[in-house]
Amino acid sequence: MAQKLIPELLVEDNKFCPGCGHGIVNRVLAEVLEELGLADKAVGSLAVGCGCLMMDTFGTDWVQAPHGRAAAVAVGVKRVRPECCVFTYQGDGDSLAIGFSETMYAAIRNENITAIIVNNGIFGMTGGQMAPTSLPGQRTTTSPKGRDAALTGQPLNIINQMKNLPVGYLARGSVDTAKEINKVKKYIRTGIETQMKGGGYSMIEILSPCPTNWKMTLQNSLDHIRSTVRATYPLGEFVKDGERTDA
């Protein structure tokens, strides 16, 4: 057994709520960047939402984009500095509501960047409003009687939107168990390796609990992901090395 130390990239304690999955994703991403020797040449792009709280605690270079526009900013960085490891880190509201166009077009152009999208099914920072990813019937502060899919649409499955595009790598993980967290780490590693070998766009969506805004205990939040959320958002690798793995 080897030591398991806290990555040096985590320069300060994170600012997320108790039980929030962002902290886990932060640690896993930091481990991957350090293990691949990319900590010194990584540039992250984040925008607005709980994810942006990591700008002071996660020690890579950062550019903070307007809400939703992290992918466009990342594209600007990567196109002029192709030697850098350029990634976006966003929540589902940021990347898939206001930022849907920028997110999709980065994939459509098969931009050589890695997108990390943490999906907790709500807008967290603003207090738990409905997101494109909210499940039918899900109670949020803007769908107090539960999301009515007839009025607001079905939950947005971004991998279904992207998997027919000529992209490098698409995977969906979850941080609800240790086993799945280890898979998330593998997915992020594969995504970043895809970018660094010039393999095109990589995106890893990560299902994550938000006990605060779900108004659930952590235990119930984790059970909810396993029993319900995963049914709408299945886990696994969907595109690898530019090839569909589920076809």
Partner 1 sequence: MTKASKKRLHMVQHHERCKGCGFCILECPKEALSVSDDVNRKGYPLVKLDEEKCIVCAICHTVCPDYVFERREVA
Partner 2 sequence: MSYRLMKGNDALAEAAVRAGCRFFGGYPITPQSEILEYLSSRLPEVGGTFLQAESELSGINMVYGAAAAGFRAMTSSSGPGFSLLQEGISYIASAELPAVIVDVQRYGSGLGDIFQAQSDYHQATRGGGHGDYRMLVFAPSSVQESVDLMGLAFDKAEQYRNPCLILSDASIAQMMEPVKLPEMQEVDPDKPWAAKGKNGGDFKRITSTMYYIEDFDGYIKAKFDSMAAAEQRWENVEVEDADIVLVAYGISSRICKEAVAIARSRGIRLGLLRPITLWPFPTNAFKEVNSEVKAYLTVELSALPKLEDDVKIACEMKTPVKHFLGGANIPESSAIVEEAVSILNSREEVSWLKN
Round to whole Å and give the CA distance between 101 and 96. 8
Task: Give the 3-state secondary structure of residue 170.
Answer: strand
Task: Report if residue 6 touches partner 2, rule: CB under 8 A.
Answer: no
- Choices 42-50, 163-171, 187-195, 231-239 (CB under 8 A): range interacting with partner 2: 42-50
Q: How many residues bind partner 2 (CB under 8 A)?
A: 33
Return the residues of window 54-83 that contact partner 2 according to CB under 8 A. 55-56, 59-66, 69, 72-81
What distance, in Å, lies between the first and last C-alpha atoms of the chain? 38
Token pair for 94: 């940021």
Round to whole Å and give the CA distance between 186 and 32. 8
State the minimum distance, in angstroms, from the CB of residue 183 to partner 1: 11
The option from partner 1, partner 2, none interacting with 178 (CB < 5 to 8 A, set by class) reads: partner 1
What are the φ/ψ torsions at residue 41 (nearest 5 degrees)?
A: -120, 20
Round to whole Å and give the CA distance between 44 and 30. 12
Q: Would you say 138 and 112 are in contact if contact means Cβ atoms under 8 Å apart?
A: no
The residue within the footprint of partner 2, chosen from 43, 118, 122, 135 (CB under 8 A), is 43
- Name which of 18 and 144 has its Cβ closer to partner 1: 18
The option from partner 2, partner 1, none interacting with 35 (CB < 5 to 8 A, set by class) reads: none
Binding site for partner 2 (CB under 8 A): 11, 39-43, 45, 55-56, 59-66, 69, 72-81, 84-85, 101-102, 105
